[in-house]
Amino acid sequence: MNTIAFIGLGNMGGPMAENLLAAGLKVRVFDLMPDAVKNLESAGAYAASSMTDAVEGAQVVITMLPASQHVKDVYLGNDKATGLLDEVEDGAFLIDSSTIDPHSARMVAERAAQKGLDFVDAPVSGGVAGAKAGTLTFIVGGSDAAFAKAEDILKHMGKNIFHAGKAGDGQMGKICNNLMLGILMSGTCEALNLGIDNGLDPKVLSNIMLQSSGRNWALELYNPCPGVMETSPASNGYRPGFMSKLMLKDLGLGLDAAAMSKSSVPMGSLARNLYAFHNANGNEELDFSSLFEFYQSEK
């Protein structure tokens, strides 16, 4: 049976690792936050005391970290610590599910290949609810053979597993998706706020738009107006979820990619500026649907 090392047990990594345990796999976990490790230990994981301890004897390593720099530090090392590429078992298979820039993903894949290790980028979509339910969408970049190996593991945490193309292409697919998500969430907040300002009940308006051409993922599964949808972060003080600072990061990745390919992204730029403003107002840790409060406060 595969032993899997899982590093990064935050809003997404925690429930993803739990699903691997539920599938009967042996999981060794590590996070910089001791509480996150403890939670997984009580779900049956081996609580590693360090990254080195986590990858010992593991044939598969999965990382779920905030951003590009964390991923480069963890795999390649820095002036304070050795990277995973020098610590994993011979032949270990490496999967990074964080959302990072495609260039960094390709760099890690190349450095892994130089050591005879397979690495795929496999960012996800589906939010915390999808991570808990094991219904995430994985968008994978890597060779055909590496994709086949990845599918076998990712199926325990997700429902749809796509092969986007070569190394880094998983990240590019994810970045395009989140550029659209940032725009859709901004538009959904804007339309709901306009309706409320003009005397409509947000529940009634949401139902109308759900059966009309404004229907979209944010409205259907992640309504940003508190009280409309019991299960959405909005009805729980905008926690937990996909933090506004992570949406700002992803929109920045979209704009960087657009600059490289000389693509026009006027809507993405607007959404990024909205999130920059929202983050600067102290909302970094709140779920990204809290952008609704920005509209509400602009009276």
Q: Is 15 in the site for ligand NAD (CB under 6 A)?
A: no
Q: Kindly state the smallest distance separating residue 246's Cβ from ligand NAD, in Å.
A: 4
Q: Kindly state the smallest distance separating residue 242's Cβ from ligand NAD, in Å.
A: 3
Q: Is 36 in the site for ligand NAD (CB under 6 A)?
A: yes
- Position among 98, 279, 283, 289 found at the interface with ligand NAD (CB under 6 A): 98
Q: How far is CA 25 from each of CA 17, 19, 139, 154, 167, rounded to the nearest angstrom?
A: 10, 9, 22, 12, 26
Number of CB atoms found within 10 A of residue 140's CB:
24
- For residues 62 and 74, what is the distance between their CA atoms, to the nearest angstrom? 11
- Position among 6, 93, 242, 295 found at the interface with ligand NAD (CB under 6 A): 242
Q: Is 182 in the site for ligand NAD (CB under 6 A)?
A: no
Q: Kindly state the smallest distance separating residue 194's Cβ from ligand NAD, in Å.
A: 26
Q: Is 139 in the site for ligand NAD (CB under 6 A)?
A: no
Q: Which long-range contacts (CB under 8 A, 24 or more apart) does 189-198 make?
A: 189/224, 189/289, 189/291, 189/292, 189/294, 189/295, 190/295, 192/223, 192/224, 192/225, 192/292, 192/295, 193/292, 193/295, 193/296, 196/225
Q: Is 70 in the site for ligand NAD (CB under 6 A)?
A: yes
Q: Kindly state the smallest distance separating residue 201's Cβ from ligand NAD, in Å.
A: 28
Q: Is 7 in the site for ligand NAD (CB under 6 A)?
A: yes
Q: Is 274 in the site for ligand NAD (CB under 6 A)?
A: no
Q: Left, alpha or beta for 166 (phi > 0: left; psi -120 to 50: alpha)?
A: beta
What positions carry a catalytic annotation? 174
Which residues contact ligand NAD (rule: CB under 6 A)?
Answer: 7-13, 30-33, 36, 64-66, 70, 74, 98-99, 124-125, 127-128, 241-242, 246, 250
